[in-house]
């Protein structure tokens, strides 16, 4: 296992600022939260941040630093990425936006509600879902991407397929969001490198059809970090700049309820890799299992609670269905911590 640090001893508001100024704490991803203790991995020893051994100092520096550069032009922290599924079978809103005109209207409404990016996808990747033919995926997403981009909306394309990435980028998409971390399609990494676009590498094991049986972990945060580091290495070897990369822990992908909760609680471990974190918890099954809410569209309160927990742990981008509610919650969260 590579050297990692789990931030502990959380501080907020004036207490965080005072402790950082006194050298007793480090900011988490540049602030506003801070942490006073560090669990050193592997091993598990807990030490004050001022006593972190030199071996782990580079990891500590990456956790404390603001996300490098201004990833994808998103100055707001945390930013809000709106989910626009142009699909028939997505778990929460399948079929609602299959009509391109309806999808475009929904995307414009999301942007007007405060979304920094609208993430357009034409293939469901929920557990057990089946692949969509490439021609069908492109036919679903390209008209929507083109229309939204023409209206000045920042668009990301949610796809595992290089041909769809290329078509969407040609239509005006700015970001590639790949649930397979560029592993599904052998041509995807070189395409993203050639286009020089920002990319989200998400953690997943197997395929949507098989991932439900691959959720066994000894230490989910450390293993997800190690597996994402491997995908980063592949991306860099293909010529993708580090400043173009953001990471997504893949909540709900090859992870059960216990793993999702553990990963969210220990999200700071992934900051040691040195990349902005995109987190998608919106309406997911573990929220329903904990809350008792069977209908995904009624899980917005639980989604916001989980999303704010991710923000506290250093998330740079929240990927959500309920845009207006999330934007309001994030503004209040920032104001309180400030």
Active site positions, annotated: 284, 319
Token code pair at residue 49: 């941040």
Please give the C-alpha separations between residue 318 and each of 167, 189, 214, 303, in angstroms, as whole numbers: 25, 24, 25, 10
Write down the residue that tokens 């942490």 correspond to: 35
**H helices within 70-131, ranges in order?**
100-112
SS3 percent helix, strand, coil of the chain, rounded to 5, is: 45, 15, 40
C-alpha–C-alpha distance, residues 41 and 219, integer Å: 11
Half-sphere exposure of 14 (CA within 13 A, CB side): 0
Q: Is the dihedral of CA 318, 322, 323, 328 positive or negative?
A: negative
Q: Which two tokens stand for residue 310?
A: 């991710």
- Cα(318)–Cα(278) distance, integer angstroms: 6
């Amino acid at each position: 296992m590579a050297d990692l640090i789990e931030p502990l001893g959380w501080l907020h508001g004036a207490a965080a600022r005072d402790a950082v100024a006194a050298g007793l704490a480090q900011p988490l991803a540049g602030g506003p939260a801070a942490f006073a203790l560090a669990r050193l991995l592997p091993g598990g020893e807990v030490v004050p941040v001022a006593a972190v051994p030199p071996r782990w100092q580079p990891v500590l520096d990456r956790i404390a630093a603001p996300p490098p550069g201004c990833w994808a032009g998103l100055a707001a922290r945390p930013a809000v990425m709106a989910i626009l599924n142009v699909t028939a079978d997505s778990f929460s809103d399948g079929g609602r936006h299959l009509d391109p005109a309806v999808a475009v209207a929904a995307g414009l409404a999301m942007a007007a509600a405060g979304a920094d990016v609208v993430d357009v996808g034409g293939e469901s990747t929920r557990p057990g879902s089946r692949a969509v033919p490439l021609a069908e995926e492109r036919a679903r997403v390209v008209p929507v991407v083109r229309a939204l981009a023409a209206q000045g909306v920042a668009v990301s394309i949610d796809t595992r397929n290089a041909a769809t990435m290329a078509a969407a980028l040609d239509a005006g998409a700015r970001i590639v969001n790949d649930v397979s971390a560029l592993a599904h399609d052998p041509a995807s990494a070189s395409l993203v490198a050639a286009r020089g676009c920002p990319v989200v590498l998400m953690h997943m094991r197997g395929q949507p059809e098989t991932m439900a049986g691959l959720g066994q972990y000894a230490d989910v945060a450390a293993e997800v970090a190690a597996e994402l580091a491997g995908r980063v290495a592949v991306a860099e070897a293909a010529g993708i700049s580090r400043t173009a990369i953001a990471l997504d822990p893949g909540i709900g992908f090859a992870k059960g309820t216990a793993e999702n909760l553990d990963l969210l609680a220990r999200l700071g471990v992934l900051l040691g890799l040195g990349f902005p974190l995109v987190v998608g918890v919106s309406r997911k099954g573990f929220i329903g299992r904990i809350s008792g809410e069977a209908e995904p569209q009624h899980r917005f309160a639980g989604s916001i609670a989980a999303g704010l927990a991710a923000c506290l742990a250093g998330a740079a981008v929240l990927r959500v269905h309920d845009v207006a509610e999330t934007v309001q919650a994030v503004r209040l969260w920032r104001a309180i911590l400030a």
